[in-house]
């Protein structure tokens, strides 16, 4: 659906305020355009105004296995999507809009900054880790809505975490209980590839 011209839109002020907030949080023009009813050109021009520079070129994050590539990724994805689901449930709204994304991502950022600080404390100085950015967060919401990502409950620690529905099997690995430290002090979590190979391996008869 083509965005309505500015002069005919009653809520353009609210849309622009939300667009500004999204851009400040790091959202790229395609997401701003979709959520705030702006054209592509309007979103790019507004991005330049808010950030003082042109937006990053290239595709948006689209790695559908990102949330299960490491325990760290899984914790951040599970944390953010849990917030989205809880807010949706409380507001009784199944749809995603700019207000919901901004609210959930701001809460996530506050919590994640503490997790990140603790994580970096136990990691080497040369290893840099960053929490989930809003563009990938937006993509993960679509995977959850499509049913590609699903929530699991760990039978040991009772944590709610994300699993992934695979065409041949399901990936389910608690990012808290199923992580261990090897002899070198590095934290390990079974990889996506090895987990899929194990799940898809024919059983011995």
151-163 pLDDT, tens digit per residue, is: 999 999 999 999 9
- 17-24: average pLDDT: 95
Quote the pLDDT of residue 114: 76
Quote the pLDDT of residue 180: 79
What interhelical angle do 40-51 and 12-24 show, nearest 10?
A: 60
Distant-in-sequence contacts of 3-10, Cβ < 8 A, 24+ apart: 3/33, 3/37, 3/38, 3/39, 3/42, 4/37, 9/37
Supply the DSSP string of the chain, one letter for each residue: -PPPPGGG-TTHHHHHHHHHHHHHTT--HHHHHHHHT--HHHHHHHHHHHHSSPPPPSPPP--TTGGGS-HHHHHHHHHHHHHHHHHHHHHT--S--HHHHHHHHHHHHHHHHHHHHHHHHHS-TT----PPPHHHHHHHHHHHHHTSEEEEE-TTT--EEEEEE-SS-EE---TTTTEEE-TTS-EEE--HHHHHHHHHSPPP-
> Is 131 or 43 the better-scoring residue by pLDDT?
43
Q: For 166-193, what is the HEC assignment?
A: CCCCEECCCCCCCEEECCCCCEEECCHH
Tell me if the pTM is above 0.85: no
Best mean pLDDT range from 47-56, 115-124, 178-187: 47-56
Domain range summary for the chain, segments of one domain joined by +: 6-51, 66-200
């Amino acid at each position: 659906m083509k965005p309505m011209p500015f002069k005919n839109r009653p809520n353009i002020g609210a849309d622009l305020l939300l667009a500004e907030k999204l851009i400040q949080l790091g959202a790229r023009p395609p997401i701003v355009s979709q959520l705030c009813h702006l054209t592509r050109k309007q979103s790019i021009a507004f991005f330049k105004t808010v950030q003082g520079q042109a937006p990053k070129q290239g595709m948006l994050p689209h790695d559908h296995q990102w949330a299960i590539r490491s325990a760290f990724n899984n914790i951040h994805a599970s944390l953010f999507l849990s917030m989205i689901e809880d807010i949706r449930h409380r507001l009784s709204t199944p749809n995603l809009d700019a207000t919901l994304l901004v609210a959930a991502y701001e809460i996530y950022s506050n919590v994640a900054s503490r997790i990140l600080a603790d994580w970096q404390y136990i990691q080497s100085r040369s290893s840099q880790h960053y929490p989930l950015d809003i563009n990938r967060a937006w993509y993960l919401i679509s995977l959850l809505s499509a049913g590609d990502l699903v929530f699991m409950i760990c039978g040991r620690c009772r944590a709610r975490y994300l699993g992934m529905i695979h065409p041949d099997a399901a990936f389910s690995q608690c990012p808290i209980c199923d992580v261990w430290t090897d002899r070198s002090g590095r934290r390990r979590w079974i990889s996506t590839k090895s987990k899929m190979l194990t799940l898809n391996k024919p059983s011995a008869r």
